[in-house]
Structure 1
Amino acid sequence: MSSWKRSGKSARKSASLAGQFLAFQIVVVAVVLLAVGAVSVAQSTNEFRDVRGQRMIAVAENMASTPIVRERYADPFAGQVLAPEVDRAVALSGAGLAEILDPQGVIRVSSQPARVGQPFGLGDSQAVDGRAWSGDLDVDRTHSLVGQVPILGINGDVLAIASVSEGYPSIWQLLSGAGERLLFYLGLGAALGLLASWLLSRRIKRHTRGLEIAEIASLADHREALLHSIREGVVAVNNEEEITVLNDSAQELLGLTDAAVGRRIDTVGMDPSVMEFLRTGEDDRDVVIATRTRVLALNRRAATSDGQLIGTVTTMRDSTELASMQGQLSSHKSVTDTLRAQTHEFANQLHTISGLVQLGEFDAVRDLVGTLTRRRAEISDAVTQHISDPAVAALLIAKTTLAAESGVALVIDPDSHLSALEPALATDVITLLGNLIDNAVDVSEGTERARITVTIDDGESLTITVADSGPGVPEHLRESIFARGVTSKPEVPGGRGIGLALVRLVTAQHGGRVDIHDAATGGAEFVVRLPEHA
C-alpha cells in the first residue's frame, strides 16, 4: 500500500487528469479552427482565381483592343506613349501591374517604368499561341494571378501580348475577405469550445473522485490482482445477462475462458443449472448446485450503483470433496442407523426369549431362535451369494433391514453378480448404492406393494440398477433432478437433495453415466454404468 501512495504522490506532481483533458480539448478546438480557416482560405483563393482571373482577361482584352496600343506597341517610345493606357488599365481593374510584352516576353510598356526592357517569365501562358489565358505566375518574385491576351496581326501572327497581373492576397486578407461574420463565428466557436472543455474537465474530475491517471491505473491493477488471486470464483453479470467479470477460479470451476467475458451467459457453454441460478437465483442465500463434474456452493447478490440495479455478483466455492465426504458419511450413518434398528430389534427379541425362559417355555424359545436364525441367514444368503465384495454386501444387508423398518421390501435381483472390488472403487460403489437406495426408499415408502429391486452386474462394465415403486421421474425433470440446488443452511436436516447429485458426480469421475428410465414396477429405474471397471 505504501508503494501505491508513493505512486499517487508522484502522479499529483504532473498535470491532473482534468487539466490534461482540458489541454487536449483546447488542442482539438484549435485544430478544428485551423481546419475551418484552411477551408475558408482555400474557398476564398478559388473564388479570387475565378473572379479576378476573368477580370484580368477582360482588362487585358480592353487594353489590347485600344487602337493606339495596336498602332504604337512597337514604337521606340512606346513606354512613354502608351503609359496612359496601361495606367488606365490598372485603374480600371484594380490590378497591381499592367504591361505590354513582345512575343519573346520582353517588357515594352509597364505601369512600373523601371520594369521596361526586363524579361517576363511566360511560364505556361498560351498567349504566345494566340489565345487568351489566365493563371498563376511569379511576377517580380510575387505569386500573382495573371491575365494575358495576344495582339494579333492581319495574318494571325502574335505581334505583342497585353498582360495584367495582381498579387494573391495574404491569408489574413483572405479571411477578412470572407467577412466579419466568419471571424465572429470562429471566435464564438473557440470560446464555446473552451468553455465546454473546461466544464467537461470539471465533471470528469468530480466523477473520478479527484483521482489522477496513475492512481486510477494503480487501483485497477490492484483490483485485478485481488480479484484473480482469491480462491472463490466470482462472476458478475449485467442487466443484459452479459458476463462482465470472470476471475481465474470461476473460469476453472465453470470450465470457461477469458473469451466468455462480454458474452451472454447462454452463449458460453455454461452448465444449465448454474446459468439458471445466475438468472433467477434468490439473493443472499447459499445454494448448492451439482454440475456434471463438480458440486458448487453459490451465493448471488444484486449490484447497484447510485441506487440503480446494474447486475448481479455471484461467488462460488468448490464443495466437491465436501459433498463426497458428506455422501460417505451418509452411507456410514445409514449403516449406523441400521445397526441401531437391529439393536432395538435384538433387544426386543432378547426380552421375549427371557420371558419365555422365565415361563419355562423352552420349546418356544428353541422355535423362536431357529426362526430368527433362519430369517437372518436368508437375508445374508440372498446378498452374499450374488455379492462377493464384503463392504458392498454389508451395505445391502443393512439397507435391507432399514428399508424393512420403513415398510419397503428391498430385493436383490437373482441375476446380480459382483466380484471383490479394490477398496477405492468399493467406497464409490457404496456411495452410489447408498444414495440410490435411500432415494428409492423415500419415494417408495407408503406406496402400494412398496418394493425396491437392486441389480448389480460386473460383466463388461460395472452396472448398478435401482428400480423403485414410487411415482417415477417425469421426462422433463430427468436432467435437472441431478442438479437440483439445496440450501447449505444447517436447519435443513441431513442436506437432503445432494444424494442424486453425488451419484452423477461420482459416476462422472469414473467416466461413466447415469440414466433414468420408467421401471416395470411403475416407478423410476436408475442405471449407473462405470466403464473404468472393465
Structure 2
Amino acid sequence: MVAEFRRHTLAGEMLVLQLAIVVVVLLAVAGVSLTQSAATFNRVEGRRVTALAEQLAANPLVRDGLARALPQEALAPLVNSTQTQSGVTSVTVADADGRIVSSTDPTVLGDRLPLGEGAARGRGWSGPLTLDGSRELVAQVPVLGATDENLGVLLGTVMVGEASPTVWQRLSGASSYLLAYLGVASGLGIAGSWLLARRVKRQTLGLEPREIAGLAEHREAMLYGIAEGVVALDPQARVTLVNEVGLRLLDLPVDCVGKSLSELGVKGRLRDVLTGAQEIPGHKGDEVVIRRGRVLVMNRMTVTKDGRHLGSVTTLRDRTELARLEREMGSFRSSSELLRAQAHEFANQLHTISGLIQIGEQDEVVRYIRALSRHRQSLDMTLSRRVRDTAVAALLMAKASLAAERKVSLRISESTALDRLAPEDAADVATVVGNLVDNAVDAAAAPGEPGDREAWVEVELRQDASSVEIVVRDSGPGVAPELAREVFSHGFTTKAAQEGERGIGLALTRLVCERHGGEISVTNTPDGAMFTARMTVSHLADAVAEGATP
C-alpha cells in the first residue's frame, strides 16, 4: 500500500494528465482531419460522378437502347468502357420501371435500382448510398427521350458510383505528412509534459499533495494559535501573510494581503523595521517600535532559498501591558534601590567611624558624625522644601544615592517647586523623572570622559495650575543630531544612543507624557543633553475635592 502511494507522485500524476491531454488533442486533430477529408471527397467526387452520369445519360446509344428495350449486351460495352475510362466503382443503367438492365456488376441485373429522393421524382440526385453492403457516393441522372416520338419522356436512370474511402484511407489521403505531424506533436507533447512535471516537482520542493496540504494546515494552526503577531513581506514590500494578532497590533485592514506598505500607509520607524531599511549588519536583536499607543517589540528575519531573496518574516510582541506593570512597580523598585544604596553608604560610614575609634580619634569621630548629619539634613530639607510630593521626593532620594555610587552628583535646581499630586499623577511623574534621571546618569557616567571633569545630573521640576514641566540636564556627550528627532520613537536610551543598543525607557516616557496630553523633547547644551517633558496633572487638593463631590 505504501509503495503504491509513493508511485502516485504529484509529478507522475501531472505527467499522466498532460499525456492524456496530448492524446485527446491528437484524437481531436485526427477527427477534424477525417471530417475535412470526408467533406473534400463528397465535394470533389460528387461533382465527378455527377458529370459522368449526365454524360452517360445524354449518350444517344443509352437513349436508343432504353427506348427500344435492347438487351443488356447492347449497353454493356458502353457501361464497361465508362467505368474503365473514369475509374469509378460502378456504372448502372435502369429502365423506366427501375429494373437494372445493364451494370458493371452482373449480379444485380434484373434487380430494382434503389433511387434517391430526387431521382424518384425524375430529377437528378447525388449522395451516399449503400449498394450490396458497400457504401458509395453515387449520382443518379434521369434519361429523357430526345426524338419526336418520346421527347421529354423518362426512359430510365443512369447511376455512377464511387466507393467511399475507409478511415485509414482518409487519414493517409488527408495529407502525406499527417502521420509525421502527429508523431512530432506527440513527441513534443510528451517532452513538454515531462519538463512541466519536473518543474512542478522543483517548485514544490519535492513535496506531494498530502504533504503540502499538511504543511498548510500546520501553518494555519501555528499562525492563528500563537499569541505573537506575524507579518511576512515579499521583496517588493508587499504583505503576503499576516495573522489576526498582527492585524490587531499594527491596525491593518483585513484585506491587507497583497498590498504594499505604502498602500497601507505604513511609514516611519515601523516601515524601516519591517523592511530592514536601517538594520545594523550582524544585529539580530529585538527592535522597539511605538505604534498608536502600543510599545511593540519586533524581530525581523530575512528569508532566502538557494541564494534568492524571498522576503522577510517579522514577529511582534505587545509590551504595553508589561510597561504599565513596570511603571507601577517603579516606586517599589526605587525604594528597594534606595535601601540598598543607603545600606552600602551606611556600611562605608560605619567602617570609617570604626577605624577612627580604633586609632583613638574620638574627637574626629564626633566631627565626622556631625558633618554627615548636616549633609543628610541639608539634602532632606532641600527635597522636602522644594518637592512636596512624597513619591517623587523618595524617588529622587533613591536616585541621588545610586548616582553617588557611580560618582555622579545629582543636583536639585533652585527653581524646583512641586506640590503634592494625585496618586495616579504622582506615579506617572515619578516614572518620567526616574527614566530621564537613569538615562542622564548613564550618559554622565559614560567611560571615556576626562578625569578632571565633574559628572553631574540636574533635575528641575516646575509646576503651574494644570501641568508639570520636568527638565533633566546632564554632563554627558549629548544626543547625536541624527537621533535627536527620532530618539523617542526608536526607543533609545542615552546609553543606547552611544552604543547602538535598544531600550524602552524613553519610549515609556513618551507614552506617559502623551497620555497626559503632554510631550517630550531633547536638545543639546554646551554641557550635555537636556530632556524636557510636559504633562497635564491634578493637584492633590483638586483630586480630593472631586472625590468629595456628590
Q: Tell me the TM-score normalized by structure 2.
A: 0.66
What's the CA shift string for 1:395-416, capped at 9, x where partnerless?
Answer: 47877999996576557787x8
Q: Secondary structure at the match of 2:8?
A: coil
Q: Which amino acid aligns with 1:178?
A: A
Q: How does 1:167-206 map to 2 (within 5 A)?
A: 167-191=163-187, 193-194=189-190, 197=193
Once superposed, what is the RMSD of the aligned Cα atoms?
5.7
Structure 2 residue 22 is the aligned partner of structure 1 residue 20? no
Alpha-carbon distance, 1:174 to partner: 1.0
> What is aligned with 2:431?
431
Alignment check: 8 A CA contact 1:241 1:265 kept: yes
> What is aligned with 1:4?
none
Alignment check: 8 A CA contact 2:510 2:520 kept: no
| CA gap 1:250/1:458 in 2 versus in 1, 3 angstroms | farther
Q: Which amino acid aligns with 1:56?
A: V
Q: Secondary structure at the match of 1:241?
A: coil
> What is aligned with 2:488?
481
Alpha-carbon distance, 1:298 to partner: 3.6
> What is aligned with 1:300?
300
| CA gap 1:496/1:119 in 2 versus in 1, 3 angstroms | closer
Cα distance between partner residues in 1 of 2:344 and 2:483: 43
Alignment check: 8 A CA contact 1:284 1:299 kept: no
> What is aligned with 2:449?
none
Alignment check: 8 A CA contact 1:408 1:441 kept: no
Structure 2 residue 116 is the aligned partner of structure 1 residue 121? yes
Q: Secondary structure at the match of 2:423?
A: coil
> What is aligned with 1:55?
48
| CA gap 1:82/1:336 in 2 versus in 1, 3 angstroms | same
Q: Which amino acid aligns with 2:507?
A: A
Alignment check: 8 A CA contact 2:288 2:503 kept: no
What's the CA shift string for 1:408-427, capped at 9, x where partnerless?
Answer: 6557787x8775235xx654
> What is aligned with 1:499?
505
Q: Which residue of 419, 422, 445 maps to 1:420?
A: 422
| CA gap 1:23/1:411 in 2 versus in 1, 3 angstroms | farther
Q: Which residue of 22, 26, 47 maps to 1:29?
A: 22
Please say which of residues 34-43 and 306-315 is displaced more in the overlay.
Answer: 306-315
Alpha-carbon distance, 1:373 to partner: 6.2
| CA gap 1:426/1:524 in 2 versus in 1, 3 angstroms | closer
| CA gap 1:451/1:179 in 2 versus in 1, 3 angstroms | same
Q: Which residue of 379, 384, 399 maps to 1:380?
A: 384
Cα distance between partner residues in 1 of 2:137 and 2:419: 111
Cα distance between partner residues in 2 of 1:46 and 1:514: 91
| CA gap 1:401/1:96 in 2 versus in 1, 3 angstroms | same
| CA gap 1:200/1:342 in 2 versus in 1, 3 angstroms | closer
Alpha-carbon distance, 1:252 to partner: 5.0
| CA gap 1:294/1:418 in 2 versus in 1, 3 angstroms | same
Alpha-carbon distance, 1:499 to partner: 1.8
Q: Which amino acid aligns with 1:121?
A: G
Cα distance between partner residues in 2 of 1:487 and 1:96: 108
In structure 1, list runs of 5 or more residues that go unmatched.
Answer: 1-7
Q: Which amino acid aligns with 1:501?
A: A
Q: Which amino acid aligns with 1:60?
A: A
What's the CA shift string for 1:483-507, capped at 9, x where partnerless?
Answer: 3468999x979x7642221134456
Cα distance between partner residues in 2 of 1:129 and 1:114: 21
Cα distance between partner residues in 1 of 2:484 and 2:86: 97
Alpha-carbon distance, 1:482 to partner: 1.6
Count of residues in correspondence between the two structures: 498
Alpha-carbon distance, 1:286 to partner: 0.7
Cα distance between partner residues in 2 of 1:115 and 1:464: 131
Alignment check: 8 A CA contact 1:107 1:120 kept: no
| CA gap 1:56/1:379 in 2 versus in 1, 3 angstroms | same
Alpha-carbon distance, 1:317 to partner: 4.0
| CA gap 1:165/1:287 in 2 versus in 1, 3 angstroms | same
Q: Which amino acid aligns with 2:431?
A: T
Please say which of residues 37-46 and 300-309 is displaced more in the overlay.
Answer: 300-309
What's the CA shift string for 1:231-288, capped at 9, x where partnerless?
Answer: 5544444433344454565455444577444444444455743431232224552123
Alignment check: 8 A CA contact 1:290 1:484 kept: yes
Alignment check: 8 A CA contact 2:400 2:409 kept: no
> What is aligned with 1:66?
59
Alignment check: 8 A CA contact 1:95 1:166 kept: yes
Q: Secondary structure at the match of 2:19?
A: helix
Q: Which amino acid aligns with 2:58?
A: S
Alignment check: 8 A CA contact 1:411 1:452 kept: no
Alignment check: 8 A CA contact 1:102 1:161 kept: yes
